[in-house]
Amino acid sequence: MKIITNFEPISDILGSVVTIGSFDGVHRGHRQVLQQLCQTAQEKALPSIVVTFEPHPQQVLDQNPDFFLISTLEQKIELLSQQKIDYLYIIPFTKEFAELTSEEFIKQVLIDKLKTRYLIMGPNHRFGKNRSGTYSSTHHLAELQGIDILMIEEYLLDDIAVRSTQIRKKIAMGNFEEAEELLGHSLFIRNN
């Protein structure tokens, strides 16, 4: 897995299969998306790219004092490296970057920097200013840019949606075993 942190275009590719997210904890739901990413990349003979952000967008935009990370960037990289991903594209997340609309994000990041041909999206994924970019709001625009969007169903474990926010709640309540069950791996650091 090549790690790119300079927000430059990946120049040695002709197209790619991309997914975008914070991937905090790299939990079971994330891994379902990553499996689809790698499968599609293999089927289309294109490189797979995971786009993530540092710092986490909530650390920059949200003033929620209860927010905490499940995994550090180093831990996230370690977990992602266990998948068969070709590139990890880490975007420095700033308030200025957060002003990009979903349309600008598609053009400036997905097209200009990553030459995206296929975008893998989880059911709750949103991107762009005010999280306005959803599957339904960007599907047509992405198609006009030559990007096919593949939507992944929500990952459920015992009828519970596996999401980072749900895992944070379990950790905050001290339910570490339940959090680890949702994660699908051990916690690195047990938070209080």
Q: Both tokens of residue 173?
A: 């309540």
Residue 141: pLDDT band (50, 70, 90) is confident
pLDDT score at 189:
55
**pLDDT value at 112 more than 90:** yes
| Residue 180 within any structural domain of the chain | no
pLDDT score at 167:
93
| Residue 28 within any structural domain of the chain | yes
| Residue 33 within any structural domain of the chain | yes
| Residue 127 within any structural domain of the chain | yes
Range with lowest mean pLDDT among 34-43, 58-67, 99-108: 58-67
Give the 3-state DSSP-derived string for 33-97, with helices as H, strands as E and coil as C: HHHHHHHHHHHHCCCEEEEEEECCHHHHHCCCCCCCCCCCHHHHHHHHHCCCCCEEEEEECCCCH
| Residue 182 within any structural domain of the chain | no
| Residue 184 within any structural domain of the chain | no
| Residue 67 within any structural domain of the chain | yes
- Total residues found in the chain within this entry: 192
Between 119 and 125, where is the model more confident?
119
Range of the domain at 69: 2-154
Q: How many domains would you assign to the chain?
A: 1
pLDDT score at 162:
86
| Residue 84 within any structural domain of the chain | yes
| Amino acid found at 135 | Y
pLDDT in tens, 155-173: 888 877 788 989 999 999 9
**pLDDT value at 4 more than 60:** yes
Q: Judge contact between 51 and 91, C-beta under 8 A.
A: yes
CATH number of the CATH domain containing 139: 3.40.50.620
- Mean pLDDT, rounded, of the chain: 89
